[in-house]
Amino acid sequence: GGSSLCPEVLKLTFGRIPGFPELHVLDSTDPAMIRALERQVDLATTLFIVSSKSGSTLEPNIFKQYFFERVKEAVGPVEAGRRFIAITDPGSKMQQVAEGDGFRHVSFGVPSIGGRYSALSDFGMVPAAVMGLDVGTFLDRAERMVQACASCVPLEENPGVVLGIVLGVLARTGRDKVTLITSPGVRDLGAWLEQLLAESTGKEGKGLIPVDREEVGPPEVYGSDRVFVYVRLESAPDPAQDDAVGRLEAAGQPVVRIGMADPTDLGQEFFRWEIATAVAGATLGINPFDQPDVEASKEATRRLTSEYEKIGSLPAETPVFATDGIALYTDDKNAATLNEMVGRKKSLTGYLRAHLGRLQAGDYFGLLAYVAMSEEPERRLQAIRHAVRDAKRVATCLGFGPRFLHSTGQAYKGGPNTGVFLQVTCDDPADLQVPGQRYTFGVVKAAQARGDFEVLAERNRRVLRVHLRDVKAGVKALGAAVRRALA
CATH of the domain at 406: 3.40.50.10490
pLDDT above 90 (res 63): yes
Residues 402-409, mean pLDDT to the nearest whole number: 92
Q: Are residues 104 and 213 in the same domain?
A: no
- Split into its structural domains, the chain has a count of 3
Let me know whether 198 and 305 are in one domain.
no
pLDDT tier for residue 295 given thresholds of 50, 70 and 90: confident
Q: What percent of the chain has pLDDT over 70?
A: 100
Pairing verdict, β 177-182 and 105-108: unpaired
Residue 294 above 90 pLDDT? no
Q: Residue type at 216?
A: V
The pLDDT of residue 395 is: 99
How high does pLDDT run on average in the chain?
97
Closest CA to 107 of 119, 90, 93: 90
Mean pLDDT of 232-259: 98
Confidence (pTM): 0.97
> Which residue type occupies 13?
T
Closest CA to 351 of 366, 334, 365: 334
What sign does the dihedral 201-203-204-210 (CA atoms) show? positive
Same domain, 125 and 34: yes
Q: Are residues 386 and 414 in the same domain?
A: yes
| Domain match, 326 and 357 both | yes
- Determine the pLDDT at residue 481: 98
Q: Are 84 and 100 in contact (CB under 8 A)?
A: no
Q: Based on the domain organization, do 42 and 172 belong to the same domain?
A: no
Given 117, 133, 149, which residue is the final one in a domain? Answer: 133
Does residue 334 sit in the same domain as residue 391? yes
In this structure, are 305 and 442 located in the same domain? yes
Same domain, 93 and 150: no
Q: How confident is the model at residue 293 (pLDDT cuts 50, 70, 90)?
A: confident
- Note every long-range contact of 102-107, with CB atoms under 8 Å and residues 24 or more positions apart, other chains counting: 103/50, 104/47
Q: Is the pLDDT confidence value at 8 over 90?
A: yes
Gap between the Cα atoms of 24 and 363, Å rounded: 36
**What distance in Å separates the CA atoms of residue 449 and residue 405, rounded to the nearest whole number?**
9
Which pLDDT score, from 0 to 100, does residue 367 have?
Answer: 99
Same domain, 223 and 351: no
pLDDT bin (cut points 50, 70, 90) of residue 196 is very high
CB neighbours (10 Å) of residue 238? Answer: 18
List the domain range (segments joined by +) for residue 67.
5-133
Per DSSP, the three-state class of 84 is strand
% of the chain residues with pLDDT over 90: 97
Separation between Cα atoms, residue 242 and residue 233, nearest integer Å: 11
If asked whether residues 326 and 229 sit together in one domain, one would say no
Give the residue from 268, 284, 27, 289 showing the smallest Cα distance to 145: 268
Contact present, 225 and 176 (Cβ < 8 Å)? yes
Q: Is residue 312 domain-shared with residue 440, that is, in the same domain?
A: yes
Q: Which of 230, 253, 284 is the last residue of a domain?
A: 284
pLDDT, position 242: 98
Write down which residue in 133, 152, 180 finishes a domain. Answer: 133
